[in-house]
Amino acid sequence: MAFMVKHMIGGQLKDLTGGLTEEKPEGDKGEAAAKGMTQEEFEQYQQQLEEEKQERDANFAQKKAERATVRSHFRDKYRLPKNELDETQIQAAGSDVELPTELAKMIAEDNQEEEHKQSVLGQLSNIQNVDMDQLKDKAQATLEELKNSAEKCSLM
């Protein structure tokens, strides 16, 4: 109840008193003295904080660009529509943004596996109950027979 009365009347009293209350100027001297530093130390401290903030922001932008690169890579791979937000994040990072090395290795391995699966032998290995070694031996034996018969042929 007291809170409600103070809230309702307090704001109106502040308006009535206007400039009668003494407001402290918000200067660096007050803050520096409050933190137990000299003015010079406080300025160095503020500068250091600003540099750290800029470094964090740059690192954050770089990470966002890397994530956007990963997303755009997968969009390209699976033929999904492109996202302009990702492209702007990559451009905002400024420096060359590449896929992380671990992810690039994983993608290279996946590509090799896909190429193997797309080859004829890869397709044959998917068929159950096929002995690949026996199939290779048979194919080599057939080639040998063809070579031998070609050598025996009088036309060749």
**Residue with the larger pLDDT of the pair 129 and 78:** 78
Cα of 41 vs its chain's centroid, Å: 38
Least confident of 83-87, 109-113, 119-123: 119-123
CB-side neighbour CA atoms (13 Å) of 74 = 8
Predicted pLDDT at 54: 96
Residue tagged 């009293």 (tokens)? 13
Q: Once rounded to an integer, what is the mean pLDDT over residues 124-128?
A: 63
Select the more confidently predicted residue: 143 or 1: 143
129 phi, psi to nearest 5 deg: 65, 35
Question: What pTM did the predictor assign?
Answer: 0.47
Angle between helices 84-93 and 39-77 (to 10 degrees): 140
Alpha carbon distance 52, 3 (integer Å): 42
**Distance separating alpha carbons of residues 113 and 111, to the nearest angstrom:** 5
The better pLDDT of the pair 44, 154 is held by 44
